[in-house]
Structure 1
Amino acid sequence: MVDYSSKLFLGFDLSTQQLKIIVTDEDLKPLKTYNVEFDSQYKSKYGIHKGVKANEEDGEVISPVLMWLDAIDYLFTQMKQDDFPFDKVVGISGSGQQHGSIYWSHEAESLLNNLKPNQDLSKQLTNAFSWEYSPNWQDHSTNSEASDFHNAVGKENLAKITGSRAHLRFTGLQIRKFATRSHKSEYEKTSRISIVSSFVTSILLGKIANLEESDACGMNLYNISKSSYNEDLLALAAGVNSKIDKVDKSDPIYEKSIDEVRQKLGDITPITYESSGEISNYFVERYKFNKNCKIYSFTGDNLATILSLPLQPNDCLVSLGTSTTVLLITKNYEPSSQYHLFKHPTMPEHYMGMLCYCNGSLAREKARDEINKKYKLDQKSWDKFNELLDSQKAFDNKLGIYFPLGEIIPHAPAQTIRAILKDGEIEKCKIGDEFKIEDDACAIVESQTLSCRLRAGPMLSKSGDANKEESTDEINEAYNKLIDTFGQLKTDGKDQTKDSLIARPNRCYYVGGASNNLSIINKMGSIFGPINGNYKVEIPNACALGGAYKASWSYKCEEEKKFIPYDDYIKKLFDTNDELKDLKCEDKWIEYFKGVGMLAKMEETLMEVD
């Protein structure tokens, strides 16, 4: 029997394939989870597969918005049948899949304000949308729009302004396609545009909510440094950019169109603990929520993930799945076209950096399979691969670039390159006497980790205590030797500095499938060399949990009428002995300066780039 004796918080996670709600108490303890999988419940009604409708011809991938409304009612009904005490819920927040856009009709506000508790949301809000779908993050139908954004302001400059280069899924590109190419008439009938996080907030409030600032960074429209929309990018979204669309800025249509898209997007609420308002009367009457239950702004799914752990400035969360994703907390706004930077959802003057690699487990598994084939072992066994990883005592001057799929970071086609460092020179080689198939085990894990280390460095270099201990003779000697051997190092066309090359994470946390392989994460930890340790952690339902924690923190701040640093709040209530496992990795951080230089030069001189 679940103990619901205290105040309760709900965390939502609206992902591509399901809606999940997690219940936590005042001590951040998860009490119960509810979820509905869209395919199992709505496949025939909405014609979806894996939560979406996809058009292979043009790359469009979309989600039915009414299905999400059905899912909200479905889960609340399930909770009601479970005798869940809605009246004890004092705060709700959560996450939505990032970048998706929702197009409200001119009737939307009135319909939201006048919901009848005896009817389902989807039935009452059918006419609340000018278009009944939302582009999914998998959508890749906006190649022409991506070119337009890059041609208008430049790829690196776009990243400098918005935190990211143009990505096909990003909201600004999707709006431009919607307004100028695919749905012109629907755009004209659109009163407001939400992103998925602000859409769920709006439903719970019963009125259209402002965009939440951290998630709004994923639109390619928002100037992060200035905390305001960028006019040239708004003009692109509206189809009146002077360079791309040849609309003169003195033409009245230019200003009119920019004002229109700005009005549709609405204001962006700065990072805050303050609530967006109380829950809609619809939920009070239908499910018996307390009318004073506060709704706190939802954020994006990756942003919610970092809220589910006691992450402090300079901490890194390394997710090891089919792809590899590194999330890090930084004070340093050092953007690049190769990764993402978003404002942190609960820590003012901080950012979340995000590195997304396409080749993660797939590449390691391919190396494992070839090694097992040579030794006539079970193809899926990691025993030999791990034995080779564990037996390496020092970096052996062998490294590889392993991209069975085209890579995102760096932007490059599929390729495999192996190389050896000899007398300060990098020699490309094939499998043979000097570079054996067994060497792939270490070389692939090392190269993947070194790529993360190289690209995280600039984000960490000016941030907090990242280099508080980096003035030792040993480190200076290693750095000087690195430069003597390899000269000036560049990553993605930008010079690395001493600060960026000697920056270290505070802590590293490892999650995802491959984090269960201790040989892999021990090797990674020895290369990252975080100042305060490596930790393996299990965080099921991270996005929903992060939402519940955000609601709990916000509620506490409002209760005490002051801003409580989020990392302090989470740290105090997080039992690290139960949740985190310290890996006690051997620290070979200094030794891998040589690997840092080798990979940087291999990328610069040997690799094919798109």
Structure 2
Amino acid sequence: MAEPAARLCCLGWDFSTQQVKVVAVDAAMKVFYEDSVHFDRDLPEFGTQGGVHVHQDGLTVTSPVLMWVQALDLILEKMRASGFDFSRVLALSGAGQQHGSVYWKAGASRVLTGLSPGLPLHEQLQACFSIRDCPVWMDCSTTAQCRQLEAAVGGAQALSCLTGSRAYERFTGNQIAKIYQQNPEAYAHTERISLVSSFAASLFLGSYCPIDYGDGSGMNLLQIQDKVWAQACLGACAPHLEEKLGPPVPSCSVVISLGTSDTLFLWLQEPMPALEGHIFCSPVDPQHYMALLCFKNGSLMREKIRDESASCSWSEFSKALRSTEMGNGGNVGFYFDVKEITPEMIGRHRFSPENREVPAFPKDVEIRALIEGQFMAKRIHAEGLGYRVLPKTKILATGGASHNRDILQVLADVFGAPVYVIDTANSACVGSAYRAFHGLAAGTGVPFSEVVKLAPSPRLAATPSPGASQVYAALLPRYAQLEQRILSQPQGLLE
């Protein structure tokens, strides 16, 4: 996929759960090169499924750090073999899966600063990590550490006001605390702790890259107002942690990513920390914040219901959405095959229009109940963080499901706002490349919006149907009440 006429460009990287991806974007904001390495398929020797190792307890989930390094070796070799002209690269930037962490062994900095261009990275770095299988965002084995952290700062709400979130099992501070408590020798031999994003940047820099405010907000360790490490949190997690993290640094409306996990981002001027969801420092505007809600049961849940109720066919799935009415005749469903983050529940629960729990729905009703339920949950919990439907509200949808117009129509109807999409499958990579161009303008005061003004405009994909606001004005409070009803049941009934 070589570019015959080499042009100046920026590279955008995405170190995600299942693969490493790269795009090249030229000065006209056009993507002209893209490639990827899929962990399970291209690096089978690491034995991952979905890019991770799920341990016997079902709670501990890790990824081999050398797999990420070797994936970078592979993708750079693919680019070189294609004739890609690296001399035309002005800058690069990247995204990394949130909450994953990397533990550099004492002495690794010397290896990192002395890397040889003639040898693969994974060969040179193979002895540089004190933890070889690193905790990732899917891990939920740190409940005890979460409770310890909240107790140390005066409770869950106090921690949320300080760091933007109550204690979450996947957040890096709690993962570090578990490693310190269970493997103190490995922790003692760790000289630096990186997030996946700063780890990837370190590979390119040949030195340790600092953690930025945006990604650092997902650790339960950063004071989001003052943008410094919270000393009480550091002390509650592990000794000498501040020196192992290094100082945080600046990262130089509504977005919904419909991928493996669904994530909802809200642009905020004033943060409203709560016990659900997260408040992060904005990665593109140092004066503002973004709220984030993450839902584990995203595309994998949609695929399961597609297979069960639509003969494994997205076409049949879409037909079911079109053939059923808004509001689904009052039928409401909750579909959480793995324990959800927001709300914290598990299981499938279906309710009739009379609020009676029923064992099954007809297939078409099941499909609409799933999609309406997913989007009603997003809206209800977004409103808890300050979201309101305004005349100028727009939703930008990315990820795999953003290509399904019928799913986007339900999104527009439930949120009461138009939905836009961008014509790229690798939105994280493209956004990273845009950030690289923004980085080139750092210090000039140029806003991010000015840098990307030549970028393709999002395309309108769906607008709210007539009558949608009335339908969901009645259904949303019912959904919220039923959610609370399920949550009030004994935990044993939710399994």
Alignment of 1:244-259 (within 5 A): 257=239
Task: Give the structure 1 partner of residue 285 of structure 2.
Answer: 347
Query: Who is 2:412 aligned against?
Result: 525
Q: Deviations over 1:144-173 (max 9, x none)?
A: 223323443423332222222322222111
Cα pair 2:112 2:207 within 8 Å, conserved: yes
CA distance in 2, matches of 1:450, 1:179: 40
Question: Which residue of 2 is the match for residue 448 of structure 1?
Answer: 374
Counterpart CA distance in 2 for 1:442 and 1:235 is 48
For 1:594, the equivalent position in structure 2 comes to 474
- Cα deviations by residue, 1:155-194 (Å, 9 ceiling, x for unpaired): 333222222232222211111111121x211211221111
Residue 544 of structure 1 aligns with an amino acid whose one-letter code is: C
Asked whether the 8 Å contact 2:413–2:469 carries over to 1, the reply is no
The separation in 2 between residues aligned to 1:59 and 1:371, in whole angstroms, is 29
Partner residue of 1:509 out of 389, 396, 399: 396
Give the match for residue 159 of structure 2.
158
2:483 aligned residue: 603
Q: Indicate the SS of the match to 1:381.
A: helix
> Structure 2: how far apart are the matches of 1:602 and 1:49?
35
For the residues of structure 1 that align with 2:191 and 2:426, how far apart are their CA atoms?
34
Counterpart-to-counterpart distance in 2, 1:65 and 1:378: 36
**Could you tell me whether the CA contact under 8 Å between 2:22 and 2:35 is conserved in 1?**
yes
Q: Secondary structure at the match of 1:382?
A: helix
Deviations 1:429-460 (A, max 9, x none): 3569xx98876565554443333222222444
Gaps of 5+ in 2: none
Which residue is 1:267 aligned to? 247
Write out per-residue CA displacement over residues 37-71 of structure 1, whole angstroms, 9 at most, x where no aligned residue.
33344333x45444334422364333232333333
TM superposition shift of 1:428:
2.2
Q: How much does 1:267 deviate?
A: 0.2
The 3 A distance-change label for structure 1 pair 334 and 539 is farther
- 8 Å contact kept, 1:332–1:460: no
Q: What amino acid is aligned across from residue 563 of structure 1 in structure 2?
A: G
TM-score (norm 2): 0.86
Find the counterpart in structure 1 of residue 21 from structure 2: 20
Q: CA deviation at 1:201?
A: 1.4
Report SS of the residue matched to 2:316: coil
Paired residue for 1:408, among 335, 341, 354? 341
Partner of 2:169: 168
Cα separation, partners in 2 of 1:587 and 1:156, compared to 1, 3 Å: farther
Task: Work out whether 1:429 is the aligned partner of 2:359.
Answer: no
For residue 601 of structure 1, report the CA deviation from its aligned partner.
3.1
Structure 1: tracts of 5 or more residues without a match: 239-256, 273-314, 421-426, 462-499
The runs of at least 4 consecutive aligned structure 1 residues that moved more than 6 Å come to: 362-373, 377-380, 435-438
**Deviation of the 1:503 alpha carbon:** 5.1
SS of structure 2 residue aligned to 1:510: strand
Fraction of identical pairs, as percent: 31
For 1:489, the equivalent position in structure 2 comes to none
Question: RMSD of aligned C-alpha atoms?
Answer: 3.2
Give the 3 Å change call, closer, same or farther, for CA 149–380 of structure 1 in structure 2. farther
Contact 1:398 1:443 in 2 (8 A): no
What is the number of residues matched between the two proteins?
485
Measured in 2, the distance between the counterparts of 1:512 and 1:121 equals: 30
Kindly name which structure, 1 or 2, has the bigger radius of gyration based on alpha carbons: 1
Q: Structure 1's 364 and 608: CA in aligned 2 closer, same or farther, altered over 3 A?
A: farther
Shift of 1:197: 0.9
Aligned residue identity for 2:381: R
Instruction: From the superposition, tell whether residues 456 and 163 of structure 1 become closer, same or farther in structure 2 (CA, over 3 Å).
Output: same
**Aligned twin of 1:191:** 191
The structural deviation recorded for 1:4 is 4.2
Task: Indicate yes or no: 2:271 matched with 1:333.
Answer: yes
User: How far off is 1:9 after superposition?
Assistant: 0.9
Change (3 A) 1:177 1:587: same
Task: Tell whether the 8 Å contact from 1:43 to 1:49 is kept in structure 2 after alignment.
Answer: no
How do residues 530-609 of structure 1 correspond to structure 2 at under 5 angstroms?
530=417, 533-555=418-440, 557-558=441-442, 561-570=443-452, 572-576=453-457, 580-586=459-465, 588=467, 590-591=469-470, 592-605=472-485, 607-608=487-488
Question: Which residue is equivalent to 1:57?
Answer: 57
Pairing 1:259-298 to 2, within 5 Å after superposition: 260-272=240-252
In 2, the alpha carbon distance for the partners of 1:383 and 1:120 equals 46
Question: Cα gap change, 1:189/1:565 in structure 2, threshold over 3 Å: closer, same or farther?
Answer: same
Query: Aligned letter for 2:275?
Result: S
* CA shift for structure 1 position 222: 1.1
Tell whether the 8 Å contact from 1:99 to 1:137 is kept in structure 2 after alignment: yes
